[in-house]
Amino acid sequence: MSSVTDINGRELALDPEGYLQDFDAWTPDTARALAAIEGMELDAAHWEIVELLREFYRQFAQSPAMRPLVKYVGQQLGADKASSIYLLRLFPGSPAKVAAKIAGLPRPEHCL
């Protein structure tokens, strides 16, 4: 287990893959610190997805893999944002995994 220090100086426990261990310990400053580890700076489009992911987790008690994430984004934000290409531009590599990490969610199951 490792840890990250967020912008307010709080030390937060991470699992070996860098995911926050306590969903309720997350704050926007935590997201900024986790995004910085990923080499990212969050803008309004990122925050929209991060907040959506946190809502998904509250509803379904799991982190969505890519297909369910794209579907949920479409349902909540509209068809123009419901594509893996849009999410890849925001969260390069594996959008479901990277976005979940920044949102303070566990690693999505069934994600490569």
Section 5-14 average pLDDT: 77
- Residue span of the structural domain in which 14 resides: 2-37
CA distance 58 to 17: 22
Same-domain status, 32 and 59 = no
What's the pTM?
Answer: 0.90
Q: Is residue 7's pLDDT more than 70?
A: no
**Total count of domains within the chain:** 2
Does residue 110 belong to any structural domain of this protein?
no
pLDDT at position 102: 97
Same-domain status, 94 and 52 = yes
pLDDT digits (tens, 9 = 90+) for 51-95: 999 999 999 999 999 999 999 999 999 999 999 999 999 999 999
Structural Rg of the chain based on CA atoms: 13
Q: Is residue 111's pLDDT more than 70?
A: no
Q: Is residue 43's pLDDT more than 80?
A: yes
CB 35 within 8 A of CB 46: yes
Does residue 22 belong to any structural domain of this protein?
yes
Coil, strand, or helix at residue 2? Answer: strand
Does residue 24 belong to any structural domain of this protein?
yes
CA distance 81 to 33: 25
Catalytic residue, chosen from 88, 98, 111, 112, is 111
Q: Please state which of the ranges 31-35, 42-46, 47-51 shows the lowest mean pLDDT.
A: 31-35
pLDDT digits (tens, 9 = 90+) for 24-42: 999 999 999 999 999 999 9
> Known catalytic residue: 111?
yes
- Quickly tell me which residue has 């997805």 as its tokens: 49
Nearest alpha-carbon partner for 26 in 39, 43, 10: 10
Section 5-16 average pLDDT: 79
CA distance 65 to 63: 7
Same-domain status, 18 and 64 = no
Does residue 111 belong to any structural domain of this protein?
no
